[in-house]
Structure 1
Amino acid sequence: MTEQKPRNRGIYILPSVLTTFGLFAGFYSIIASINGDFTIAAISIMVAMLWDTLDGRVARLTNTQSAFGAEYDSLADLVSFGLAPALLVYLWGFSGLGRFGWLAAFVYLACAALRLARFNTQVGSADKRYFQGLPSPAAAGVIATMIWLKIWAFAFFDSDVISIGYIGYYLGAVITIICGLLMVSNVRYYSFKELDSKKASFRFLLAIVLSLIVLLYKPNIVLFTGFFLYLLSGPFITIIGINKRRIEKKKIKTT
């Protein structure tokens, strides 16, 4: 009978400090939303996403992963990518939609919490190439850049007969609910974790440089497009996988 190696329960300073930076960015986004600085609130969520990416990469590169770090990271993610985006969209435009507005924000928040809880229970057993469900940072990115881009900018134009703006707010609420439901779905999303161990080619590095140039020129447009395409990629990958399995089953039956 072999003894099981106990999980590392220590606290590593560097990843935890980076996680704290991300938590602060999420907290600052909440403060900015309360103060009505919605663009700053959206950008703060993007900053939190950067710190969230760095703490995971640093933990893997320095071999400082721990149970404490995983739990702390999830709690920080719930604030930065769950509560902060939900409060941002509600205060930005959903507060005028009545019950539907706060329900849309709550559905997103609840789904973010469920997604993070499920992720923690699957650590070590899930396929590292894919995420099960839309990652909470990506969902928060869709919402934050959607507001930063002001995709429903026509919400500011009113008519004497009907407030055209509410059409845009309802559209935003539907997108928010879709993001929440995709987080708790079984739709697969590419994780990009395999890129950590691969050598980058010259063309890949050139593509990154060009992408950064375009990003700096129109960050809100580029980021929203990227996050929205990633949101759509999950159903596309899942459908392709289902079709492949069906073809393989047919081949097995015919042989």
Structure 2
Amino acid sequence: MEPEPSAEPTKVADIEHGRPKRARGIYLLPNLFTTAALFAGFFGVLAAMNDQFEKAAIAIFVAMVLDGLDGRVARLTNTQSAFGAEYDSLSDMVAFGLAPSLVMYEWTLSNLGKLGWLAAFIYTAGAALRLARFNSQLDTADKRFFTGLPSPSAAAILAGAVWVGVDNDLPSEPLAWVAVFLTGGAGLLMVSNILFHSFKQIDFKGKVPFISIVAVMLGFAVILWDPPIVLFAVFLLYTLSGPLLALRRLARKRRAK
């Protein structure tokens, strides 16, 4: 999850030396989840350096879950803060910017020499620019859509590809060119102006039909059937949905003219 708008730290009424004194300390609970997500991304890099690519890919997906929880926990417990938002962005940069590109580089991109590390850098730079743009547009952006591919989804594409390859014993060297396309393409999509659905309009607190719970159970069953392939396919479809919807909107505009 990307950082949500947050309240400024509370100012203490006492005045010292003519300046307002800010309250000390940070909220523990949401920042624990953020720290855990940061650690998962860091662990993914260490695992890849030791050729434990399956563990590295799983660590990135774990970071995605933890990153999705910290913002919701902060809102539910009313513990949002400016510090938490900034810390979440830094954690995202490690877990979804650096870690996926380094894991992919260690797995196969290193076989292509300079082209490999160039693709990894394009992804990392794209993630950094994506997060900076998101933070600067928090107050004006349409909450229904993300502008550019969200960094967790881009990370899932890379981590899912590595996990599928390792789980199916696919040789990494012949897949290097596919990895260049995935890595560079994900990096460019993050800084594009293509809109992706945010699903923030879904009301998790309201009542839903009973069939919705059945659908959720079936979804978990499908994921458990083959986690690498299912997760990679889901996030690949989400990634493709943005360009496809953009082409659809363009076609409608042309017909309208």
TM-score (norm 2): 0.85
Amino acid at match of 1:101: G
Separation in 1, partners of 2:167, 2:223: 21
Structure 1 residues 27-79: Cα deviation after superposition (integer angstroms, max 9, x where no partner): 11111011110110000000000000111222222332222111110100000
Superposed CA RMSD in Å reads 2.1
Separation in 2, partners of 1:83, 1:173: 16
Amino acid at match of 1:9: P
Q: 1:150 aligns with which of 165, 180, 199?
A: 165
Q: 1:174 aligns with which of 158, 181, 189?
A: 181
- Runs of 4 or more, structure 1, over 6 Å off, are 151-154
Q: Are 1:118 and 2:126 counterparts? A: no
The answer as to whether partners of 2:60 and 2:96 remain within 8 angstroms in 1 is: yes
SS at match of 2:236: helix
Higher mean Cα deviation, 145-154 or 14-23? 145-154
Amino acid at match of 1:42: A
Separation in 1, partners of 2:139, 2:73: 18
Structure 1 residues 153-204: Cα deviation after superposition (integer angstroms, max 9, x where no partner): 6863xxxxxxxx6442111111110000000000111111111455332222
TM-score (norm 1): 0.86
Taking only the aligned residue pairs, the percentage that are identical comes to: 51
The answer as to whether partners of 1:152 and 1:169 remain within 8 angstroms in 2 is: no
- Structure with the bigger percentage of helix: 1
Q: 2:51 aligns with which of 12, 36, 46?
A: 36
SS at match of 1:150: helix
Q: Are 1:184 and 2:191 counterparts? A: yes
Structure 1 residues 91-121: Cα deviation after superposition (integer angstroms, max 9, x where no partner): 1111111110110111100100010011100
Match of residue 222 from structure 2: 214
Structure 1 residues 121-169: Cα deviation after superposition (integer angstroms, max 9, x where no partner): 011210111100000000000100111001896863xxxxxxxx64421
Q: Which runs of 5+ in 2 are unaligned?
A: 1-5, 11-25
Q: 1:241 aligns with which of 211, 226, 249?
A: 249
Q: 1:51 aligns with which of 56, 66, 90?
A: 66
Q: Which runs of 5+ in 1 are unaligned?
A: 1-5, 157-164, 251-255
> Pairwise mapping of residues 23-102 of structure 1 onto structure 2 (< 5 A)?
23-102=38-117
Separation in 2, partners of 1:242, 1:69: 38
Match of residue 8 from structure 2: 8
Separation in 2, partners of 1:34, 1:166: 17
Separation in 1, partners of 2:234, 2:166: 14
CA apart distance, 1:244: 4.3
The answer as to whether partners of 1:42 and 1:148 remain within 8 angstroms in 2 is: yes
Amino acid at match of 1:217: W
